[in-house]
């Protein structure tokens, strides 16, 4: 085993070095012989190398096992985590070196020798922790701003004076993916910029799709189908954000954090997430607001052709719906349930739950 041989070689070199430096002094100090050759540094080097070589046979297995454990742990760590942690560690060691420079000139052993070692270990550890815990922000900045920097450099090399600002990335949340209307919106090219799908949102969708509840399972599978359609069939640029904010448990909070990191816009139809985004000054697009904005405008006195499908809450009322889901309450419409009739709009009521239209059959208006 190559690694075991390297460990043996390390012990031999270390033993030879220690023997060369210290064994002659030990022999002279003990003064048990008058032979000058016994205090030879080369004899001490050979003796030290032999002693530690024999000792290495007892500890080499443990050392190799420990190194293998470290190797397996490092292999499992993502490259981004290693890079950000190493970057923070290097930064911490550089700061420690600069802090320790004036301390070495102080003629106090504790300050000049012990304190610099403590500062180096402490700042190295803190630098590694900061780099490791902020890895998502570092990797997010690198990944999502790389294309913008390349475009800027290309435009500068071509001598362009002005550059058109790039649209912000749109981050999809779980609710808007399951809703499904986002795919139709993307198909009409109303959303500009890159569509970002975080990995933690995909994980939540997968968890919903694997639920034992039939309704949840169907919702999760529909969401995955919508994502597949967006990624493969629609003319939009889709990117999967691989990072995760492990110190934040809630998916909604992770979405807000991601939007701040990459300067993106959250796309949702969740009312509560919309409000939290507004409070934290994070740009948000609500699909429900868009749907309400594009509903057809109807005014009192206009005529509509509707299909009455059920009873209303009040006596003799009928209920119909427009194509966009707007409910129409048809007065005196009970007798027309199951029929398609022409109605006249009498009033339009806007409530927090949406818009409600009141109408009455056109035939009754003529009869009057």
Task: Say if residue 279 is in the same domain as residue 344.
Answer: no
User: Quick one: which of 321, 171, 183, 142 has its CA closest to 260?
Assistant: 171
Asked whether the predicted pLDDT for residue 368 surpasses 60, the reply is no
SS (H, E, C) 234-267: CCCCEEEECCCCCCCCCHHHHHHHHHHHHCCEEE
Task: Say if residue 80 is in the same domain as residue 195.
Answer: no
Pairwise CA distance, residues 246 & 253, whole Å: 11
Q: What is the pLDDT of residue 42?
A: 78
Q: Show which of 133, 154, 188 is a domain's final residue.
A: 133
Give the model's confidence band at 348: pLDDT under 50 very low, under 70 low, under 90 confident, else very high.
confident
Asked whether the predicted pLDDT for residue 96 surpasses 50, the reply is yes
Note the Cα 106 to chain centre separation in Å.
47
Pairwise CA distance, residues 261 & 246, whole Å: 15
Task: Say if residue 27 is in the same domain as residue 109.
Answer: yes
Asked whether the predicted pLDDT for residue 160 surpasses 50, the reply is no
Give the model's confidence band at 109: pLDDT under 50 very low, under 70 low, under 90 confident, else very high.
low
User: Quick one: which of 22, 16, 25, 26 has its CA closest to 51?
Assistant: 16
Q: What is the pLDDT of residue 320?
A: 92
Put simply, whether the predicted model's pTM sits higher than 0.85 gets the answer no
Average pLDDT value for residue range 118-132? 81
Q: What is the pLDDT of residue 313?
A: 86
Give yes or no for a contact between 356 and 329, defined as CB atoms under 8 angstroms apart: yes
- For residues 116, 121, 122, 124, the Cα torsion angle rounded to the nearest 10 degrees is 120
Residue 159 within any structural domain of the chain = no
Pairwise CA distance, residues 137 & 131, whole Å: 10
Give residues with Cβ within 8 angstroms of 213, minimum separation 6: none
Task: Tell me how many helices (H) and strands (E) the chain has.
Answer: 14, 11
- Counted domains in the chain: 3
Give the model's confidence band at 161: pLDDT under 50 very low, under 70 low, under 90 confident, else very high.
very low
Residue 155 within any structural domain of the chain = no
Give residues with Cβ within 8 angstroms of 354, minimum separation 6: 292, 325, 326, 327
The pLDDT tens digits of the residues spanning 207-263 come to: 898 888 888 888 889 989 988 888 888 888 888 888 777 778 888 888 888 888 888
Average pLDDT value for residue range 287-313? 83
Q: What is the pLDDT of residue 250?
A: 87
Residue 162 within any structural domain of the chain = no
Residue 139 within any structural domain of the chain = no
The pLDDT tens digits of the residues spanning 310-336 come to: 888 888 889 998 877 788 999 988 888
Q: Which domain holds residue 323?
A: 303-367
Task: Say if residue 210 is in the same domain as residue 311.
Answer: no
pLDDT greater at residue 79 or residue 115: 115
Task: Say if residue 311 is in the same domain as residue 256.
Answer: no
Asked whether the predicted pLDDT for residue 162 surpasses 50, the reply is no
């Amino acid at each position: 085993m190559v690694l075991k041989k390297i460990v043996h070689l390390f012990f031999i070199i270390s033993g030879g070095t220690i023997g060369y430096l210290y064994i002659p002094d030990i022999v002279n100090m003990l003064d048990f012989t008058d032979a000058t050759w016994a205090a030879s540094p080369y004899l001490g080097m050979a003796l030290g190398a032999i002693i530690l070589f024999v000792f290495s046979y007892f500890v080499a297995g443990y050392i190799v096992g420990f190194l293998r454990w470290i190797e397996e742990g490092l292999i499992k760590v993502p490259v981004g985590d290693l890079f950000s942690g190493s970057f923070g560690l290097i930064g911490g060691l550089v700061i420690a070196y600069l802090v320790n420079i004036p301390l070495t000139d102080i003629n106090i052993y504790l300050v000049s020798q012990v304190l610099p070692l403590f500062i180096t270990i402490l700042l190295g550890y803190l630098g590694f922790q900061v780099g490791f815990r902020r890895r998502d922000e570092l990797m997010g900045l690198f990944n999502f701003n790389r294309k913008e920097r390349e475009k800027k450099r290309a435009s500068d090399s071509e001598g362009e004076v002005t550059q058109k600002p790039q649209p912000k990335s749109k981050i999809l949340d779980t609710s808007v993916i399951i809703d499904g209307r986002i795919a139709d919106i993307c198909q009409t090219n109303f959303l500009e910029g890159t569509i970002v799908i975080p990995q933690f949102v995909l994980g939540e969708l997968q968890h919903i799709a694997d639920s034992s509840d039939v309704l949840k399972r169907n919702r999760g599978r529909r969401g995955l189908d919508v994502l597949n359609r967006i990624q493969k069939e629609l003319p939009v640029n889709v990117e999967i954000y691989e990072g995760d904010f492990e110190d934040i448990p809630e998916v909604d909070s992770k979405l807000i954090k991601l939007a701040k990191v990459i300067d993106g816009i959250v796309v949702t139809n969740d009312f509560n997430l919309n409000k939290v985004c507004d409070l934290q000054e994070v740009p948000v697009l609500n699909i429900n607001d868009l749907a309400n904005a594009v509903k057809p405008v109807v005014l009192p006195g206009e005529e509509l052709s509707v299909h009455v499908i059920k009873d209303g809450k009040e006596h003799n009322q009928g209920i119909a719906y427009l194509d966009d889901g707007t409910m129409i309450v048809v007065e005196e419409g009970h007798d027309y349930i199951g029929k398609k009739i022409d109605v006249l709009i009498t009033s339009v009521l806007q409530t927090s739950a949406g818009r409600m239209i009141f109408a009455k059959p056109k035939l009754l208006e003529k009869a009057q």
